[in-house]
Chain A
Amino acid sequence: MKLFGDPGSCPFCSMGFKLSGALSNHLSKVHPDQQLPRKEMKRKRPASETDSDEEDDIAQAGLLSSPLTVEDLRRIFPSFPVSEFESPSAHDVIPNEHRQLMSCEGMGDNITVSDGQQRKNTIEHFPADLEAGKAHASHPFQTRLASHCFLPFDNKYDYKLARFFHLAHVPKVCIDEFFKDGVMGGSKRCVQAARPDLGTRCAPNLKFPTFLFSSAHTLYNKIDRMIADPQWRNGYVDFQLAKNSEFWHRDVLECIKYLLRHQCYAESITWSPIQEFDGSGERVYSEMHTADW
């Protein structure tokens, strides 16, 4: 019954189904003598209809044997956005880094003006000799031992298992159960066998790799250690009515540094302002760095 791509409703009565299995069950029980109108059912799907129409058109044009060209596409689909296929025009010849900047800001979109021409927002960059956001030094990237590249985990098995638990959204109860069941050689054995000098390898006398965490609690403790959040500090103020009211705060500079060094934002951080103009020369403001700094 797979031919029912859309197991919506029965073609003979008004029953609706969510599962194709339920629909086929219904068909065999209620309408055993009915012939399945295959073609009709298929025609019900608008997507397949258009597909076949397009195929017909293409077949009529005699194009199926030869590769499609831009002209053919334009003939068949007048509204087809052909610009993507055209040879690089003048505005496409942009240095790579600029294009990257534009594309990441969504400014690379063409704006269709009423006369049918396609114009583009022009971007004026900050004077290069002012070297906004110049790299003063590259960070001394510590050469770590191979066994340390999985910190805070000890070896790649630890890391992989932790990653799986995290990405698969395994509940803590199930993680605990996983270790209690002894699938990987039992939790106690895991901890006993894992010695720091074993490093990246599993213990030689065990069939399974060893893990330095044996419960959800220890696992998430390790994961939490990966985040170097700015620290919370507390202080007290005296209101006339409430003495020693506690408040919590963080160091603002630490927070800024934390945001700046976060690798997740590395690709989307800008450090020099730009001026953006649309096709008619109007200034366009979108992000903070498009203003007058």
Chain B
Amino acid sequence: MALPVGSTLVPVIFVSNVTHLTNFFGDGKLWPVYMSIGNILSRIRQKPTSHAWIPVVLLPVAPKGVHKKAGWSAAKQERESLEITHVLLKFILGPISDAAEDSITARYGDRVVRKCYIRVAAWLGDHMENCTIHAIYNTRCGICECPTAELGNHGHSNRRRDHVIYKQWVQEEDTEQLKAAGVKLLWNALWTLRDISPANLIWPDLLYNMFLGIVEYLMDWIEGFLTVHNRLNAFDDT
């Protein structure tokens, strides 16, 4: 959708991650979701002292353990907490999807009123977080429908995730198709957002995904190389 003349776009960035705080009392976890806007230059936004990231919600963390009740399994409980999370996210994102049609007139810091259209631009998080937010299986890719066994292969040509179809499948309760695509039968909170395909929200998290993976891979390779040439002990000794 092209924005009307004289209006501006406010891309919203969300960040979330479950944080494990303690092992006592059956695990203490915190699940904060932060947000910021993309209009602020990144060098200002990423400066901790500029306080540009605002905590929006502390999502409730599902309790640990399985309910001792007939017909109540761990999978079912997991599903319940996922459903609750998505209902909550829908509630949190409600104002954005309500305001997406129309512009909000916001006052900028330079004392000028402008028309703003709000769109969600990114949801930063690690893989597990993205799987929860996108309601897909943990072993699947969030961007394309690559099967689990083929993950990591070079040059595959899998279909990009199309959440419009998923929406239709969920409405029809087409469990087989959904399972093949690795999507959980659940009304996703991100589907309420306008002009957004949730698959586009995923941004590679350099720190968690890329660098960590590269370092791990490199370390394996170097260690293997040194063992083959009988030089690993020399490093351990020094």
Contact = CB atoms under 8 A, between A and B. Distances in A.
Interface of A: 104-106, 129-139, 141, 230, 237, 239-242, 245-253, 255-273, 286-289, 293
B115 interface: yes
Closest 8 interchain pairs by CB? A266-B109, A288-B38, A133-B8, A249-B57, A271-B8, A134-B6, A135-B112, A241-B63
B118 interface: yes
B125 to A, nearest CB: 17
Interface stretch (B9-17, B139-147, B165-173, B213-221): B9-17
B40 A249 contact: no
B60 interface: yes
Nearest to A254: B95
A136 B72 CA distance: 57
Interface of B: 3, 5-12, 35-44, 50, 52, 54-60, 62-63, 65, 67, 72, 77, 80-81, 84, 88, 91-93, 95-96, 99, 104-116, 118, 121
A141 B92 CA distance: 32
A172 B195 CA distance: 50
Contacts of B6: 130-132, 134, 136
A124 B93 CA distance: 34
Nearest to B72: A240
Contacts of B60: 237, 239, 245-247
B contacts with A: majority SS: mixed
A242 B88 CA distance: 16
Contacts of B58: 247-249
Contacts of B40: 259, 265, 268-269
B112 A138 contact: yes
Contacts of B42: 286-288
B62 A137 contact: no
A272 B57 contact: no
Contact of B63 (A106, A239, A268): A239
B179 to A, nearest CB: 24
A265 B113 contact: no
Given A132-B9, A264-B109, 13 more contacts: A138-B111, A139-B111, A239-B63, A247-B88, A256-B118, A260-B39, A268-B40, A268-B43, A269-B40, A270-B41, A288-B38, A288-B42, A293-B9
Nearest to B116: A260
B129 to A, nearest CB: 17
Nearest to A233: B57
A245 B112 CA distance: 42
Contact of B104 (A245, A253, A255, A270): A253
Nearest to A286: B42
A237 B115 CA distance: 35
Contacts of B92: 249, 252
Contacts of B104: 253, 256-257
A contacts with B: majority SS: mixed
Contacts of B44: 265, 268
Contacts of B54: 230, 250, 255, 258-259
Contacts of B11: 288
Contacts of B10: 256, 260
A253 to B, nearest CB: 4
Contacts of A261: 106-109
Nearest to A265: B40
Contacts of A260: 10, 37, 39, 106-109, 116
Contact of B56 (A255, A266, A273): A255
B7 A132 contact: yes
A252 B39 contact: no
B73 to A, nearest CB: 11
A130 B37 contact: no
Nearest to B9: A293
Contacts of B96: 252-253
A129 B121 CA distance: 25
Nearest to A293: B9
A289 B121 CA distance: 11
Contacts of A132: 3, 6-9
A269 B84 CA distance: 36
Nearest to B118: A256
Contacts of A106: 43
B198 to A, nearest CB: 17
Nearest to A247: B60
A129 B81 CA distance: 49
Contacts of B108: 260-261, 266, 269, 271
A272 B99 CA distance: 20
